[in-house]
Structure 1
Amino acid sequence: MKESCNHGWLYYSDNCYLVSQEQMSWHEAKLQCESNGAFLADINSAEENTWITDKIIDNQTWSDITHHVWIGANDIGKEGIFILSEMNSTLNFTNWNQEEPNDDSGEDCVASIQERGLWNDLPCSLKCSSICKKIN
């Protein structure tokens, strides 16, 4: 695998990542990622979660993103069963914030909390930044 990505994308562990500051719903973010040949980021390990969190915080060009960043997990199909949207498989890693997921008012989509990398389930219609991922 080559250790480079297209302009604006960041490389980590055989994948390329792109953060969008544009505020959009989870479904809009998913479509935007797909239009770039990618998918909403599936986070598969504590190391990957930490890398994403550090890059979002440390990169000044992303300093204006919202408090939450859409990632690829959701429980749209069956309440309480969170899957990765790209692979339609259950999560093998989670990093839920305290008292999450809580499905408060029908929250079915997952976002990472910017400062700490903890996850929160939110209404899919909420407008947030997002992170796309593609295999390099």
Structure 2
Amino acid sequence: MKRHHIFDTGFYFYSIFALTNGETNLLFKRRENADGKLCMDMDSVFDKTQIYDTSVCLFECAKDSGCKSVFHARDTGNCTGCAASFDISTQPSGQDEGFRYYMQQRCTEGWNNLANSCYYITEQNMNASQGLETCQALNAYPVTVDSEEENNYLKALINSKYTYTDDVRAFFIGFTDNETEDAWAKHGTNDQMIFQDWGISEPNGETRENCVAFYFPSDLKWVDLSCSIELRMICEMEALA
């Protein structure tokens, strides 16, 4: 381990490790909803003792490719690695009041993870150019939906966070036919769209509508819209390894 930074913000505990094997970055987040529990039996990857420093316990998990989360009891020095991550909907089977829970994160706070990508929906409405600049400022890019799985995940994410209002009606994604009409490509590239989920009679805006968005009134099917309309933008970046 070359560098080790600890950020304790009260409700969340962050630990970022830069490892010698390929400089892999790992982020651990404290999840208080699973405190006092414990992964058991087949869910357990390792069970170590006499590790009183939380950062050392987390590093034991970081070194083990099968470890996704960890329970640590600072008073007793017990450090248990788990093969799964737990949230509100999935709880570990064991109980032990002395343990605090930390789960491995592949995305920074405020972003959402699916497979190898992290996603962020801008808080403000903006036109497509401003959305592109916002994503780039976050070291990300407008999301390019490449599969049904990713498409369904983003729809579920939107539905979990928003309801349809005049202010929240559509969400830009990273395709445009600005260069060639009806040749939909990723913003700023010639990479063609490989998956699509157009609504009925879409796209239909011809040269007046050169950007793509999830559209609430069409059950979040895709529509083409003017790039000057102000909507929220969905940004994407690569998840931590």
- TM-score (norm: length of structure 1): 0.90
User: Is the Cα–Cα contact under 8 Å of residues 20 and 130 in structure 1 kept in the other structure?
Assistant: yes
Amino acid at match of 1:97: G
Amino acid at match of 2:212: V
Cα offset for 1:114? Answer: 3.4
Cα offset for 1:135? Answer: 1.1
Question: Rg larger in 1 or in 2?
Answer: 2
Deviation per CA, 1:23-58, whole angstroms, max 9, x where unpaired? 100111011001100000000011111100001111
Amino acid at match of 2:236: K
Q: 1:66 and 2:168 equivalent?
A: yes
- TM-score (norm: length of structure 2): 0.52
SS of the residue corresponding to residue 30 of structure 1 reads helix
Gaps of 5+ in 1: none
Deviation per CA, 1:33-92, whole angstroms, max 9, x where unpaired? 011000000000111111000011113xx4476110000011010111100116530110
CA spacing shift, 1:89–1:105, aligned 2, 3 Å: closer
Give me the whole-angstrom Cα distance separating, in 1, the residues matched to 2:127 and 2:143. 15
Give me the whole-angstrom Cα distance separating, in 1, the residues matched to 2:150 and 2:188. 17
Q: Which of residues 134, 138, 147 is equivalent to 1:36? A: 138
The two structures, once aligned, show a CA RMSD in angstroms of 1.9
Structure scoring higher RCO (CA < 8 A, sep ≥ 6) equals: 1
Give me the whole-angstrom Cα distance separating, in 2, the residues matched to 1:14 and 1:82. 24
Match of 2:93? Answer: none
Give me the whole-angstrom Cα distance separating, in 2, the residues matched to 1:18 and 1:128. 14
Amino acid at match of 1:128: L
Gaps of 5+ in 2: 1-23, 27-104
The share of aligned pairs that are identical, in percent, is 25
Amino acid at match of 1:124: C
Q: 1:101 and 2:203 equivalent?
A: yes
Q: Which moved more, 1:104-113 or 1:11-20?
A: 104-113
Amino acid at match of 2:182: G
Paired residue total: 134
Q: Which of residues 208, 226, 240 is equivalent to 1:123? A: 226
Q: Which moved more, 1:93-102 or 1:77-86?
A: 77-86
SS of the residue corresponding to residue 208 of structure 2 reads coil
Deviation per CA, 1:86-111, whole angstroms, max 9, x where unpaired? 65301100000101101256100111
Match of 1:52? Answer: 154
